[in-house]
A and B are shown apart, each in its own frame.
Chain A
Amino acid sequence: EVLMTQSPATLSVSPGERATLSCRASQSVGSNLAWYQQKPGQTPRLLIYGASTRATSVPARFSGSGSGTEFILTISSLQSEDFAVYYCQQYHLWPLSFGGGTKVEIK
């Protein structure tokens, strides 16, 4: 089983600042990595797939990078609507697995 570890657990950022979220896989998952955003009481939203491809209607301030075991989600200039929990998911191997999440909160 591929263990996905996200860090930090909580990230405090001021609006307009850059946020950098990390996701590490216990073994290589190639570029088979997706990122989701979940706001309280809402359903998860696909942001990034293939490690770096933005999903439809996702703003350009969201970008993904990495391959193998190390991945980064960057939000270049945080907007008020970006404060949420972010999850990474590997889809390279069964069983599929999610990271524990990073909560981005207002500083």
Chain B
Amino acid sequence: EVQVLESGGDLVQPGGSLRLSCAASGFTFSTYGMSWVRQAPGKGLEWVSSISHSGASAYYADSVKGRFTISRDNSQNTLYLQMNSLRDEDTAVYFCAKYYESGSFYLNHFFDYWGHGTLVTVSS
């Protein structure tokens, strides 16, 4: 059974840093692209970042570019999101999401399995 489990969410002050983790199981993690998607309280979904199966390629939303870094450890089946210079507007539930298709990172950037999310609250 495919599972992705996020952790690391917390209350942090503006300007602070946090690292989220996503532990994956039930599929060959090293062959799938992965993403982070967030949802502010009572709001819609917002794509944050995606990384290729090898980790060689990554993309970011403009709202987080230069502040957030996505990475992965295929030996540990774990996805990460390093978040620096956090702002109030980064407050959200952060979901880890698995790409539908394995292999190529050039097509089909949509997601078939999502974790239940981890809450990041940025507030003084």
Residues on A lying within 8 angstroms of B by beta carbon are: 1, 32, 34, 36, 38, 43-46, 49, 55-56, 85, 87, 89, 91, 94-101
Chain B residues within an 8 Å CB radius of A95: 47, 59-62
Chain B residues within an 8 Å CB radius of A96: 35, 47, 50, 59, 109
CA distance A50 to B108 in the complex (A): 8
Interface residue total, chain B, C-beta cutoff 8 A: 22
Instruction: Give the Cβ gap from B53 to chain A, nearest Cβ, in Å.
Output: 16
CA distance A75 to B109 in the complex (A): 24
Chain A interface, >50% SS class = loop
B45 touches A98 (CB 8 A): yes
Q: State the 8 A-B residue pairs at the shortest beta-carbon distance, nearest first.
A: A91-B109, A34-B110, A96-B47, A43-B114, A98-B45, A101-B44, A46-B112, A100-B44
What does the 1/0 interface line of B95-124 toward A look like (CB < 8 Å)? 100001000000011111011110000000
